[in-house]
């Protein structure tokens, strides 16, 4: 890798930890060390350090219920963080900026699936995380605008839902982490019923955080500047993923009970990875069953 001075925001998070395993010499900063909501802090840090590369992982994230209850927080905090870090990356001469988005930036519904990168602005994001989705979509607009106005080589990657053994396992867990945590608790309580939100029908692509980290590093190593989707080709229902998790964790005779009074979220949001495969033909993802077993072994 020809870049030596690299900043990773959100460095203590799940993707940051995956990235640190393969890029140990970068600077990994969490919000306790660099407050991206404070522009003065960002200015002072970026001016002092003079980075070549910024990998922007930091974001305010949470589950469906928290997104529904706190739309202002999710919109404003992400917008402010994104604006501060990209502005001062540009003003301090950062050569490469990679912003990590989410497939929730895509329209709630489209005519054809999987969604390609060109379909981003064909409609609004899903209502259940509308503010977060739009704030992250705005980062794509910002990056494209900087490239157009200033001739920068900045890019964004749009990963599908992520999981990993370094995920949060608290109130704002991602689905796979929350699912495995529920399975562990079910075992501890000696029950055989797994309680889940919604109907179990929505479809999702879930990818291990190590796979995204590999793509980020490859973009730097191979001088890839284009923006594109990063996902697995598996597009499974919530029920199917729950069944895979039960099997991967070595359980049998488990009943899955779905609470249909709780929201499902977006029905489907699968994305095409044709562009990714063209740029990185060696890309492959860890099978979900193997990844879930890694998560289970970490917390059980």
> Residues with catalytic annotation?
132
296 close to 252: Cβ distance less than 8 angstroms: no
Cα separation, 99 vs 180, whole angstroms:
29
Query: Of 250, 238, 215, 232, whose CA–CA distance to 288 is shortest?
Result: 232
176 close to 236: Cβ distance less than 8 angstroms: no
Let me know how long the chain is.
300
* DSSP strand pairing (53-56 vs 27-29): unpaired
**Maximal CA-CA distance, the chain:** 60
Query: Of 146, 169, 171, whose CA–CA distance to 156 is shortest?
Result: 146
* DSSP secondary structure of 213-260: HHHHHHHHHTT----EEE--S--EEHHHHHHHHHHHTT--SPEEEEET
């Amino acid at each position: 890798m020809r870049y030596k001075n690299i900043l990773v925001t959100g460095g203590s998070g799940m993707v940051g930890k995956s990235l640190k395993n393969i890029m140990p010499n970068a600077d990994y900063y969490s919000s306790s060390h660099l407050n991206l909501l404070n522009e003065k802090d960002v200015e002072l840090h970026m001016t002092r350090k003079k980075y070549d590369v910024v990998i922007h992982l930091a974001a305010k994230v949470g589950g469906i219920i928290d997104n529904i209850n706190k739309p202002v927080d999710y919109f404003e905090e992400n917008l402010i963080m994104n604006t501060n870090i990209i502005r001062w990356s540009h003003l301090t001469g950062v050569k490469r900026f990679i912003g990590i988005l989410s497939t929730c930036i895509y329209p709630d519904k489209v005519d054809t699936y999987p969604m390609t990168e060109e379909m981003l602005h064909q409609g609004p994001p899903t209502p259940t995380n509308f503010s977060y989705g739009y704030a992250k979509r705005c980062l794509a607009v910002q990056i494209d605008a900087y490239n157009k106005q200033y001739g920068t080589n900045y890019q964004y990657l749009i990963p599908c839902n992520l999981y990993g053994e370094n995920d949060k396992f608290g109130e704002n867990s991602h689905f796979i982490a929350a699912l495995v945590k529920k399975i562990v608790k079910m075992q501890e309580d000696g029950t055989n019923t797994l309680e889940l939100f919604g109907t179990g029908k929505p479809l999702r692509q879930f990818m291990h955080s190590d796979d995204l980290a590999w793509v980020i590093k490859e973009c730097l190593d191979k001088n890839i500047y284009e923006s594109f989707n990063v996902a697995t080709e598996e597009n499974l229902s919530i029920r199917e993923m729950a069944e895979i998790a039960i099997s991967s964790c070595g359980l049998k005779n488990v009943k899955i009970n779905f609470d249909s009074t709780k929201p499902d979220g977006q029905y489907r949001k699968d994305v095409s990875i044709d562009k990714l495969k063209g740029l990185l033909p060696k890309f492959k993802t860890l099978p979900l069953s193997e990844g879930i077993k890694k998560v289970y072994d970490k917390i059980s």
